Structure 1
């Protein structure tokens, strides 16, 4: 027996038991002395527990003039579920939140000054980041003022800018288009130095000239890269505000454009969902403007004279497109000449190997269809803008010509032929949310006519004709993060929409087509996860049935029908644009792989002309494409050369 010894006992279950009992007391409202009013929801808790976990609530409780009464704390801008999750954490030290609530939990933790929870939520979001949600994550981190998370998101974007630039969130960002004129003996500096000069030019335009960021984005801005390596405003005499001097060698020299003060005094309103509002609030206050973020994030040189950049201008996340030109030629936003490209004399054996004629525009997320023996390619994105132009390919001439443009710029849509007319519906115009409007094209009148709108805005939906009706299937929800199960049918005679049975699985960016009186919906994505599942719709009993899945999960694929089979082309598997092709035989209910394309293509278009499948446009993981290639089912080969076209016609 040791004299004066202590009795030492450690109850390992006490802490867990006590914590559980205290949390049970909180949930039943017993002994609670604080009420949190969160958007109309009342949450009871114990002041001492919350004060230990939240420095923010500690400050409130510590300054309470009635410390022994029941405190009431009101929050009108927090999510009640997120606050409940934080209360559970305060009592149990366990953080458990559904992935859709993590941002709300982060926001609540920021208010409560619970730094450890903020860090855990931030790390979780970073672990889920990919090229599709990087812009959304950056906007969130910026709104939260989280420098640590923001730096990691920007580092990711720097490494994956081209992949990020193909995504919906990126394509909806405000865009500034610059055309930079160069002296013959000058070249543009490297990306980083170039865009530091661009940011300086934008700042001068806002602060010295009194411009608004919105006005700068309304049209292509012509700049001049001076011999002393500065970017200054430039223009031609025809704009009425610039002077041009001719030298002895009869070349053009650009001087600084005179600001149009009267046009910049009015307060501009943002036409694309208010994304430029930070500039609106501070445009007339240089000191306030200076405090807003100006940051170059990432850039890529996409061609010899074209640059793509993501930057923060005056607190607004923006895309900057820059073209370097040696002489003041046609603006990059103008419609190209319809004449065929000039050719040159060459021996026949060399001419045989030239590629199939490319489209005038690179297009991704375009609508394609076969009409009267020709391939129609409409709309789409080309990284600079969302297009409304429509091109027509004649395989006999291997040439593209323009037909009447659509009434609305759109991409991320599909096109179908119904009763001899083209139909397009929904999609995105690159600025606002998804579209609900649709239009039809009459090839005899060469004009587009508006049709009744969908009940809801919809992007990335599948479209096909079946039994003299136009069907619109699936698509993205208003936030663009979940697929839809909706299916709607349009009657072109009565001009009315009606509901059909819903899909079994939510889908957006699915390939859709008709075969033997059935409609097939192939692949797509449920949220961000690519699908290999396939559903078939029977209009006789208004039901959807799951059939054999594809070998490869893919979204943004295209589909063509030939010889009673479905040919699914390209797409995106979640990490890469695909070249692979597979075919479905409904008689056997099975898929098998075919020969791969010459190029990877996601969000491309396909059409069947005669016995040949044509694939056109899309995104290859690095560039938006204007090229095309064709597939010969007899040889199971893809070819992008005009020689193969000649062989097929013989």
Structure 2
């Protein structure tokens, strides 16, 4: 219905012209047109044409809805707009459900989804379950799983869940927690909220907690020392099994049954570190590798994609591989990968071939900066918008940069270091998309090319690279945009250049690269809380010139890449192997 037609019909309704029905609610009467009401709701269609309705009947009394809500629904039928607010959304949703107005139900769902936060998500989950909004209920449930640690800190609604609802949340493989201790402590808080009524529910909830993922110290000093646990006889075999698992949890023993036992099965990763491209000496890598930080394991994904010294970016749940080189050819092509369907295809090519390109995502756009086409070192910048599938030239950088590192933070794009055709650079600059202008910032403490740059804890980290042709770096420095200053950070265990980098589970991971003498498959991660670099599981193939990106909240991808076996208890031979 056009805006003009809507205005005319609304005017007719308000003036009572050509109206053929009166809806009565309490002592209020609303004149309307049957055909308009039928168009927005099957309830009205059935009411006016069913066995209790006749073509000449004009007055219908409708119970169970307030005059305010009926006025809102009738107005929606004519205008297709509804004023949903925080104060009225529950009443509007209830009325729309009763009178079968799907457009208003959808408007309420959109409103509730936009209002989601750790403080209210539990209440919204229960609300949309009561009013049967399955699609939104699923989205809210995934939100709860992904933000569980934040919810545990701030939500009072969490304590009002039923035992079945809490069990549904904490048993889910997608529950996003850094430590299983958090889950156990939530269970204790929930029980302590109404101890007399809930104490016996510990036997239902404790098997949902992955006790085998806790440290032996926490298991013994906190779980076993808990009166709630040890005073429930049904919990004794659960704790005993967890202790047994720890006693026989050598690498060879645990690996055989950890995925078959709920107590030890790692939860699925909420964030996935994806490795793309690269090469080992002359052999190009065509497989993707994906990392599950919770299980510290890599899986490979077979593709025919071959490129190195490219950029990788995640936008709208797609992975974009940008530029680089393949078999000594410099590329301007861009490939988009859909890991949900395991398919890929080419999208619009850049205006220039760019090897050693730097990329960053900001405000729904991909920026490709600098690089080399085999002859020219670029300071030019291109911007890709997926909705138009076009690359547009933007303001050039202040310096030519090849093999630089880039990242986006607080609405701006930062690029650091690189090689300008004659020397490595320590300079860095910042791009403001709103003004389309680049501004020089304080130079890094070290000249770096082949470095990697990432945002970690609201700082820009510049990692590794080469200071000169023969001087490979393991040093790290961090830039604070608020002070415009760099400061040195703990160095990596290994020198690296042209490696991959990403932040997963609040830890900074570096993957592969070249150490000055050989291509690497080593992986290490940095924890800012301990200020220490740790070794992690190696990738399958040595790679240099690779790229990394992080996939967030793609539950179906996590299930596909890291399948969990059917859970069953281990047998004695497996435990003692």
Normalising by the smaller structure, the TM-score range is 0.3 to 0.5
Q: TM-score, normalised by structure 1?
A: 0.41
TM-score, normalised via structure 2 length: 0.46
- Larger helix proportion of the pair: 2
